[in-house]
Structure 1
Amino acid sequence: MAVVRRQQIVNAFLALICERGLESVSLDDVAAASGVQRSVIRHYMGNRAQLVHDAAATLIERYSELIRGAVGERPGAREIIRYLFSREWTADADFPDRAFDELFHEAARDPALRDRLRGAYDLLVELLAAGIRLDRPDLPPDAPAEQIAYQIVCLAEHNAAMQRLGFPPGQAAAAQALARRLAAGD
Protein backbone atom coordinates (compact mmCIF):
# COMPACT_ATOMS: atom_id res chain seq x y z
CA MET A 1 0.00 0.00 0.00
CA ALA A 2 2.80 2.43 0.89
CA VAL A 3 4.56 1.91 -2.45
CA VAL A 4 1.33 2.44 -4.37
CA ARG A 5 0.46 5.56 -2.36
CA ARG A 6 3.95 7.03 -2.80
CA GLN A 7 3.79 6.45 -6.56
CA GLN A 8 0.32 8.02 -6.71
CA ILE A 9 1.68 11.12 -4.97
CA VAL A 10 4.79 11.31 -7.18
CA ASN A 11 2.70 10.92 -10.35
CA ALA A 12 0.38 13.73 -9.25
CA PHE A 13 3.40 15.91 -8.48
CA LEU A 14 4.93 15.22 -11.91
CA ALA A 15 1.65 16.03 -13.67
CA LEU A 16 1.42 19.32 -11.77
CA ILE A 17 5.03 20.19 -12.62
CA CYS A 18 4.20 19.69 -16.30
CA GLU A 19 1.09 21.80 -15.99
CA ARG A 20 2.38 24.70 -13.86
CA GLY A 21 6.13 24.43 -13.42
CA LEU A 22 8.00 23.25 -10.33
CA GLU A 23 8.11 26.56 -8.47
CA SER A 24 4.35 27.01 -8.39
CA VAL A 25 3.44 23.55 -7.08
CA SER A 26 2.86 23.33 -3.33
CA LEU A 27 2.31 20.28 -1.14
CA ASP A 28 -1.33 21.41 -0.82
CA ASP A 29 -1.60 21.24 -4.62
CA VAL A 30 -0.10 17.75 -4.64
CA ALA A 31 -2.47 16.62 -1.88
CA ALA A 32 -5.50 17.90 -3.80
CA ALA A 33 -4.33 16.29 -7.06
CA SER A 34 -3.63 13.01 -5.23
CA GLY A 35 -6.96 13.03 -3.45
CA VAL A 36 -5.34 12.91 -0.01
CA GLN A 37 -4.77 15.23 2.94
CA ARG A 38 -1.53 17.18 3.15
CA SER A 39 -0.61 15.18 6.27
CA VAL A 40 -0.64 12.04 4.10
CA ILE A 41 1.89 13.68 1.77
CA ARG A 42 4.11 14.45 4.76
CA HIS A 43 3.69 10.93 6.12
CA TYR A 44 4.64 9.15 2.89
CA MET A 45 7.03 11.63 1.32
CA GLY A 46 8.48 13.74 4.10
CA ASN A 47 9.18 17.23 2.82
CA ARG A 48 9.01 18.84 -0.60
CA ALA A 49 12.71 18.24 -1.25
CA GLN A 50 12.21 14.50 -0.81
CA LEU A 51 9.24 14.64 -3.17
CA VAL A 52 11.42 16.38 -5.78
CA HIS A 53 14.07 13.66 -5.42
CA ASP A 54 11.50 10.88 -5.70
CA ALA A 55 10.06 12.56 -8.81
CA ALA A 56 13.55 12.65 -10.34
CA ALA A 57 14.06 8.97 -9.52
CA THR A 58 10.75 8.12 -11.19
CA LEU A 59 11.65 10.06 -14.35
CA ILE A 60 15.11 8.51 -14.51
CA GLU A 61 13.56 5.06 -14.21
CA ARG A 62 11.07 5.85 -17.01
CA TYR A 63 13.78 7.17 -19.32
CA SER A 64 15.99 4.15 -18.57
CA GLU A 65 13.11 1.80 -19.40
CA LEU A 66 12.44 3.70 -22.65
CA ILE A 67 16.06 3.41 -23.72
CA ARG A 68 16.48 -0.24 -22.72
CA GLY A 69 13.17 -1.13 -24.35
CA ALA A 70 14.22 0.56 -27.57
CA VAL A 71 17.81 -0.71 -27.83
CA GLY A 72 17.91 -3.93 -25.80
CA GLU A 73 20.36 -5.06 -23.14
CA ARG A 74 23.64 -5.17 -25.11
CA PRO A 75 23.25 -2.75 -27.97
CA GLY A 76 25.97 -1.53 -30.26
CA ALA A 77 26.60 2.18 -30.63
CA ARG A 78 24.63 2.28 -33.87
CA GLU A 79 21.39 1.16 -32.18
CA ILE A 80 21.78 3.64 -29.34
CA ILE A 81 22.58 6.50 -31.69
CA ARG A 82 19.63 5.61 -33.91
CA TYR A 83 17.35 5.84 -30.88
CA LEU A 84 18.86 9.03 -29.41
CA PHE A 85 18.28 10.81 -32.72
CA SER A 86 14.89 9.25 -33.46
CA ARG A 87 11.56 11.08 -33.53
CA GLU A 88 10.54 8.90 -30.57
CA TRP A 89 13.34 10.40 -28.44
CA THR A 90 13.19 13.95 -29.76
CA ALA A 91 9.39 14.27 -30.05
CA ASP A 92 7.79 17.24 -28.34
CA ALA A 93 6.25 15.42 -25.39
CA ASP A 94 5.00 17.49 -22.50
CA PHE A 95 5.46 14.58 -20.16
CA PRO A 96 8.01 13.57 -19.06
CA ASP A 97 10.22 16.09 -20.89
CA ARG A 98 8.73 19.18 -19.29
CA ALA A 99 9.01 17.69 -15.81
CA PHE A 100 12.60 16.63 -16.49
CA ASP A 101 13.46 20.13 -17.73
CA GLU A 102 12.01 21.65 -14.55
CA LEU A 103 14.00 19.24 -12.35
CA PHE A 104 17.11 19.87 -14.43
CA HIS A 105 16.87 23.60 -13.65
CA GLU A 106 16.21 22.88 -9.97
CA ALA A 107 19.42 20.82 -9.88
CA ALA A 108 21.42 24.05 -10.15
CA ARG A 109 20.28 24.83 -6.59
CA ASP A 110 20.21 21.30 -5.18
CA PRO A 111 23.51 19.39 -5.12
CA ALA A 112 21.88 16.04 -4.27
CA LEU A 113 19.44 16.39 -7.17
CA ARG A 114 22.30 17.43 -9.44
CA ASP A 115 24.19 14.26 -8.44
CA ARG A 116 21.12 12.12 -9.12
CA LEU A 117 20.60 13.61 -12.59
CA ARG A 118 24.30 13.40 -13.37
CA GLY A 119 24.16 9.74 -12.39
CA ALA A 120 21.43 9.19 -14.97
CA TYR A 121 23.55 10.80 -17.68
CA ASP A 122 26.56 8.78 -16.49
CA LEU A 123 24.53 5.61 -17.09
CA LEU A 124 23.64 6.76 -20.60
CA VAL A 125 27.28 7.59 -21.35
CA GLU A 126 28.37 4.20 -19.95
CA LEU A 127 25.76 2.37 -22.05
CA LEU A 128 26.92 4.15 -25.19
CA ALA A 129 30.61 3.65 -24.32
CA ALA A 130 29.96 -0.09 -23.94
CA GLY A 131 28.28 -0.05 -27.36
CA ILE A 132 31.27 1.74 -28.87
CA ARG A 133 33.68 -0.79 -27.34
CA LEU A 134 31.48 -3.62 -28.62
CA ASP A 135 31.56 -2.17 -32.15
CA ARG A 136 35.24 -1.18 -32.00
CA PRO A 137 37.22 -3.72 -29.98
CA ASP A 138 40.42 -2.25 -31.44
CA LEU A 139 39.71 1.24 -30.09
CA PRO A 140 43.06 2.85 -29.27
CA PRO A 141 43.65 3.75 -25.62
CA ASP A 142 44.20 7.43 -26.47
CA ALA A 143 40.57 7.66 -27.67
CA PRO A 144 38.57 6.36 -24.71
CA ALA A 145 35.03 5.22 -25.46
CA GLU A 146 33.64 7.28 -22.56
CA GLN A 147 34.94 10.49 -24.09
CA ILE A 148 33.39 9.68 -27.46
CA ALA A 149 30.13 8.63 -25.79
CA TYR A 150 30.01 11.89 -23.81
CA GLN A 151 30.39 13.90 -27.02
CA ILE A 152 27.59 11.95 -28.70
CA VAL A 153 25.25 12.31 -25.70
CA CYS A 154 25.87 16.07 -25.69
CA LEU A 155 25.11 16.20 -29.40
CA ALA A 156 21.96 14.08 -28.99
CA GLU A 157 20.62 16.06 -26.03
CA HIS A 158 21.09 19.40 -27.70
CA ASN A 159 19.65 18.02 -30.92
CA ALA A 160 16.52 16.98 -28.98
CA ALA A 161 16.16 20.53 -27.65
CA MET A 162 16.64 22.01 -31.12
CA GLN A 163 14.08 19.62 -32.64
CA ARG A 164 11.52 20.67 -30.02
CA LEU A 165 12.10 24.24 -31.20
CA GLY A 166 11.12 23.21 -34.71
CA PHE A 167 14.41 22.89 -36.55
CA PRO A 168 14.11 20.80 -39.75
CA PRO A 169 14.40 17.01 -39.42
CA GLY A 170 17.23 17.13 -41.95
CA GLN A 171 19.34 18.90 -39.35
CA ALA A 172 18.74 15.99 -36.95
CA ALA A 173 19.78 13.54 -39.67
CA ALA A 174 23.03 15.46 -40.16
CA ALA A 175 23.67 15.44 -36.39
CA GLN A 176 23.00 11.70 -36.30
CA ALA A 177 25.44 11.15 -39.16
CA LEU A 178 28.08 13.09 -37.22
CA ALA A 179 27.40 10.98 -34.11
CA ARG A 180 27.84 7.80 -36.16
CA ARG A 181 31.15 9.08 -37.53
CA LEU A 182 32.33 9.88 -33.99
CA ALA A 183 31.38 6.39 -32.81
CA ALA A 184 33.06 4.74 -35.80
CA GLY A 185 36.21 6.82 -35.45
CA ASP A 186 35.89 8.32 -38.93
Structure 2
Amino acid sequence: MTIIRFLFNTVTNDKIGFDMARAKIGNERKEQILSAFENCVLRNGLEKTTLQDVANEAGLPRSLVRYFVGNRSDMANLLIDRMIERAESDLKSSLLDNNKPTLNDLLNFVIDGAFSNEKSNSIIDELWYLSEKNNDIRTRLAQLYSLIQTQIIDEMKNEKIGKNLTDRKAFAHTVMSLAYGRASFEHLGMVSAKGATKKLIDAMLNSLQ
Protein backbone atom coordinates (compact mmCIF):
# COMPACT_ATOMS: atom_id res chain seq x y z
CA MET A 1 0.00 0.00 0.00
CA THR A 2 1.42 3.38 -0.97
CA ILE A 3 1.75 6.26 1.49
CA ILE A 4 -0.90 8.21 -0.44
CA ARG A 5 -3.36 5.30 -0.31
CA PHE A 6 -2.65 4.81 3.40
CA LEU A 7 -3.27 8.49 4.14
CA PHE A 8 -6.44 8.47 2.01
CA ASN A 9 -7.84 5.44 3.87
CA THR A 10 -6.94 6.97 7.23
CA VAL A 11 -8.69 10.25 6.42
CA THR A 12 -11.72 8.42 4.99
CA ASN A 13 -12.06 6.16 8.04
CA ASP A 14 -11.68 9.13 10.37
CA LYS A 15 -14.42 10.98 8.48
CA ILE A 16 -16.77 7.96 8.64
CA GLY A 17 -16.11 7.62 12.35
CA PHE A 18 -16.73 11.34 12.87
CA ASP A 19 -19.99 11.23 10.89
CA MET A 20 -21.23 8.23 12.89
CA ALA A 21 -20.37 9.93 16.17
CA ARG A 22 -22.11 13.12 15.05
CA ALA A 23 -25.22 11.16 14.02
CA LYS A 24 -25.27 9.41 17.41
CA ILE A 25 -24.99 12.72 19.25
CA GLY A 26 -27.74 14.15 17.04
CA ASN A 27 -30.09 11.27 17.85
CA GLU A 28 -29.32 11.56 21.57
CA ARG A 29 -30.00 15.30 21.48
CA LYS A 30 -33.27 14.73 19.62
CA GLU A 31 -34.39 12.17 22.20
CA GLN A 32 -33.42 14.55 25.00
CA ILE A 33 -35.46 17.35 23.44
CA LEU A 34 -38.50 15.16 22.70
CA SER A 35 -38.50 13.84 26.27
CA ALA A 36 -38.42 17.43 27.49
CA PHE A 37 -41.24 18.29 25.07
CA GLU A 38 -43.35 15.41 26.43
CA ASN A 39 -42.83 16.62 30.00
CA CYS A 40 -43.80 20.18 29.06
CA VAL A 41 -46.92 18.99 27.21
CA LEU A 42 -47.99 16.91 30.21
CA ARG A 43 -47.43 19.83 32.55
CA ASN A 44 -48.60 22.82 30.47
CA GLY A 45 -50.63 21.40 27.60
CA LEU A 46 -49.56 21.41 23.95
CA GLU A 47 -50.87 24.84 22.98
CA LYS A 48 -49.18 26.58 25.91
CA THR A 49 -45.82 24.88 25.45
CA THR A 50 -43.20 27.09 23.78
CA LEU A 51 -39.77 26.35 22.35
CA GLN A 52 -38.28 28.23 25.29
CA ASP A 53 -40.17 25.96 27.72
CA VAL A 54 -38.69 22.92 25.98
CA ALA A 55 -35.21 24.46 25.95
CA ASN A 56 -35.42 25.18 29.69
CA GLU A 57 -36.68 21.66 30.42
CA ALA A 58 -33.91 20.08 28.31
CA GLY A 59 -31.23 22.41 29.70
CA LEU A 60 -30.25 23.49 26.18
CA PRO A 61 -30.16 26.80 24.29
CA ARG A 62 -33.33 27.57 22.34
CA SER A 63 -31.28 27.78 19.12
CA LEU A 64 -30.05 24.22 19.64
CA VAL A 65 -33.60 22.95 20.14
CA ARG A 66 -34.66 24.55 16.87
CA TYR A 67 -31.57 23.17 15.10
CA PHE A 68 -32.25 19.56 16.09
CA VAL A 69 -36.07 19.36 15.92
CA GLY A 70 -37.31 22.49 14.13
CA ASN A 71 -40.30 24.54 15.28
CA ARG A 72 -43.17 23.49 17.53
CA SER A 73 -45.16 22.04 14.63
CA ASP A 74 -42.16 19.90 13.64
CA MET A 75 -41.87 18.72 17.25
CA ALA A 76 -45.54 17.74 17.29
CA ASN A 77 -44.97 15.54 14.23
CA LEU A 78 -41.85 14.01 15.79
CA LEU A 79 -43.89 13.35 18.92
CA ILE A 80 -46.46 11.44 16.85
CA ASP A 81 -43.60 9.44 15.30
CA ARG A 82 -42.55 8.62 18.84
CA MET A 83 -46.08 7.51 19.75
CA ILE A 84 -46.20 5.26 16.66
CA GLU A 85 -42.81 3.74 17.54
CA ARG A 86 -43.99 3.23 21.12
CA ALA A 87 -47.18 1.53 19.93
CA GLU A 88 -45.18 -0.76 17.63
CA SER A 89 -42.78 -1.59 20.46
CA ASP A 90 -45.64 -2.29 22.90
CA LEU A 91 -47.31 -4.54 20.33
CA LYS A 92 -44.09 -6.49 19.67
CA SER A 93 -43.36 -6.81 23.40
CA SER A 94 -46.88 -8.01 24.12
CA LEU A 95 -46.71 -10.68 21.41
CA LEU A 96 -43.05 -11.58 21.97
CA ASP A 97 -43.81 -15.11 23.18
CA ASN A 98 -45.95 -15.85 20.14
CA ASN A 99 -44.20 -15.95 16.76
CA LYS A 100 -47.56 -16.12 15.00
CA PRO A 101 -50.11 -14.13 17.04
CA THR A 102 -53.76 -15.02 16.59
CA LEU A 103 -56.66 -12.61 16.33
CA ASN A 104 -57.44 -13.33 19.98
CA ASP A 105 -53.88 -12.31 20.93
CA LEU A 106 -54.31 -9.01 19.09
CA LEU A 107 -57.70 -8.34 20.67
CA ASN A 108 -56.32 -8.99 24.14
CA PHE A 109 -53.51 -6.53 23.41
CA VAL A 110 -55.98 -3.85 22.30
CA ILE A 111 -58.17 -4.32 25.38
CA ASP A 112 -55.37 -4.72 27.93
CA GLY A 113 -52.33 -2.91 26.58
CA ALA A 114 -52.88 -0.56 23.65
CA PHE A 115 -54.26 2.28 25.79
CA SER A 116 -52.72 1.37 29.16
CA ASN A 117 -49.87 3.92 29.09
CA GLU A 118 -51.28 6.96 30.90
CA LYS A 119 -48.43 9.22 29.76
CA SER A 120 -48.99 8.34 26.11
CA ASN A 121 -52.76 8.70 26.52
CA SER A 122 -52.39 12.20 28.00
CA ILE A 123 -50.12 13.31 25.15
CA ILE A 124 -52.46 11.83 22.54
CA ASP A 125 -55.37 13.70 24.18
CA GLU A 126 -53.42 16.92 23.63
CA LEU A 127 -52.74 15.96 20.02
CA TRP A 128 -56.43 15.18 19.53
CA TYR A 129 -57.29 18.71 20.65
CA LEU A 130 -54.73 20.23 18.29
CA SER A 131 -55.89 18.01 15.40
CA GLU A 132 -59.18 19.93 15.32
CA LYS A 133 -57.22 22.87 13.90
CA ASN A 134 -54.40 21.04 12.11
CA ASN A 135 -55.16 18.65 9.25
CA ASP A 136 -51.61 17.29 9.17
CA ILE A 137 -51.75 16.21 12.81
CA ARG A 138 -55.21 14.73 12.24
CA THR A 139 -53.81 12.62 9.39
CA ARG A 140 -50.82 11.52 11.48
CA LEU A 141 -53.05 10.50 14.40
CA ALA A 142 -55.12 8.41 12.01
CA GLN A 143 -51.89 6.61 11.04
CA LEU A 144 -51.26 5.82 14.70
CA TYR A 145 -54.62 4.11 15.14
CA SER A 146 -54.52 2.51 11.69
CA LEU A 147 -51.36 0.68 12.75
CA ILE A 148 -53.33 -1.56 15.13
CA GLN A 149 -56.53 -1.68 13.08
CA THR A 150 -54.61 -2.98 10.06
CA GLN A 151 -53.11 -5.77 12.17
CA ILE A 152 -56.61 -6.84 13.26
CA ILE A 153 -58.02 -6.68 9.71
CA ASP A 154 -55.12 -8.68 8.26
CA GLU A 155 -55.39 -11.40 10.90
CA MET A 156 -59.17 -11.63 10.40
CA LYS A 157 -58.48 -12.28 6.73
CA ASN A 158 -55.85 -14.91 7.60
CA GLU A 159 -58.33 -16.71 9.87
CA LYS A 160 -61.15 -16.27 7.33
CA ILE A 161 -63.33 -14.24 9.68
CA GLY A 162 -65.80 -11.79 8.17
CA LYS A 163 -67.45 -11.96 4.76
CA ASN A 164 -65.52 -9.07 3.26
CA LEU A 165 -63.19 -6.15 3.93
CA THR A 166 -66.09 -3.91 4.94
CA ASP A 167 -67.09 -6.31 7.74
CA ARG A 168 -63.50 -6.56 8.96
CA LYS A 169 -62.96 -2.80 8.94
CA ALA A 170 -66.21 -2.24 10.85
CA PHE A 171 -65.24 -4.83 13.47
CA ALA A 172 -61.70 -3.45 13.90
CA HIS A 173 -63.03 0.10 14.20
CA THR A 174 -65.58 -0.95 16.82
CA VAL A 175 -62.95 -2.82 18.84
CA MET A 176 -60.66 0.22 18.85
CA SER A 177 -63.55 2.49 19.84
CA LEU A 178 -64.58 0.25 22.75
CA ALA A 179 -61.00 -0.14 24.00
CA TYR A 180 -60.26 3.59 23.74
CA GLY A 181 -63.55 4.48 25.43
CA ARG A 182 -62.90 2.08 28.31
CA ALA A 183 -59.38 3.46 28.82
CA SER A 184 -60.73 7.03 28.73
CA PHE A 185 -63.25 6.28 31.49
CA GLU A 186 -60.50 4.66 33.56
CA HIS A 187 -58.37 7.79 33.10
CA LEU A 188 -61.25 9.80 34.59
CA GLY A 189 -61.31 7.50 37.60
CA MET A 190 -64.50 5.74 36.57
CA VAL A 191 -64.75 1.98 37.08
CA SER A 192 -64.75 0.12 33.78
CA ALA A 193 -65.80 -3.46 33.22
CA LYS A 194 -63.02 -5.01 31.15
CA GLY A 195 -64.76 -8.38 31.20
CA ALA A 196 -67.97 -6.88 29.81
CA THR A 197 -66.02 -5.21 27.00
CA LYS A 198 -64.38 -8.52 26.13
CA LYS A 199 -67.74 -10.33 26.12
CA LEU A 200 -69.22 -7.73 23.79
CA ILE A 201 -66.28 -8.07 21.40
CA ASP A 202 -66.55 -11.88 21.52
CA ALA A 203 -70.27 -11.64 20.68
CA MET A 204 -69.52 -9.44 17.65
CA LEU A 205 -66.78 -11.82 16.57
CA ASN A 206 -69.09 -14.84 16.81
CA SER A 207 -71.65 -13.09 14.62
CA LEU A 208 -69.03 -12.81 11.86
CA GLN A 209 -68.03 -16.47 11.89
Provide the TM-score with structure 2 as the length reference. 0.79
Counterpart in 1 of 2:64? Answer: 40
Greater RCO structure (CA 8 Å; 6+ sep)? 1
- Superposed counterparts of 1:79-158, under 5 Å: 79-86=105-112, 88-91=113-116, 93-135=117-159, 137=160, 139-141=162-164, 144-158=167-181
The change in CA–CA distance for 1:123 and 1:102 in structure 2 (over 3 A counts) is same
Cα displacement (A) at 1:20: 1.8
Deviation at 1:165, TM superposition (A): 2.4
- State how far apart, in whole Å, the 1-side matches of 2:186 and 2:206 are: 24
Counterpart in the other structure of 1:183: 205
CA RMSD of aligned residues (A): 2.0
Contact 1:90 1:163 in 2 (8 A): no
- Contact 2:95–2:101 at 8 Å: present in 1 too? yes
Q: Structure 2 unaligned runs (5+)?
A: 1-24
Name the counterpart of 1:9: 33
Structure 2 distance, partners of 1:51, 1:127, is 27
Q: Distance in 2 between matches of 1:76 and 1:181?
A: 17
- 1:24 is aligned, of 21, 28, 48, to 48
Larger Cα Rg: Structure 1 or Structure 2? 2
| CA distance, structure 1, for counterparts of residue 41 and residue 34 of structure 2 | 10
Q: State the TM-score, normalized to the length of structure 1.
A: 0.88
Aligned structure 1 segments of 4 or more residues deviating by more than 6 angstroms: none
Inter-partner Cα distance in structure 1 for 2:153 and 2:141: 18
Whether the aligned pair in 2 keeps the contact of 1:56 and 1:117 (CA below 8 Å) is yes
Query: How many residue pairs align between the two structures?
Result: 182
Offset of residue 110 of structure 1: 1.0
Which runs of no fewer than 5 residues in structure 1 stay unpaired?
none
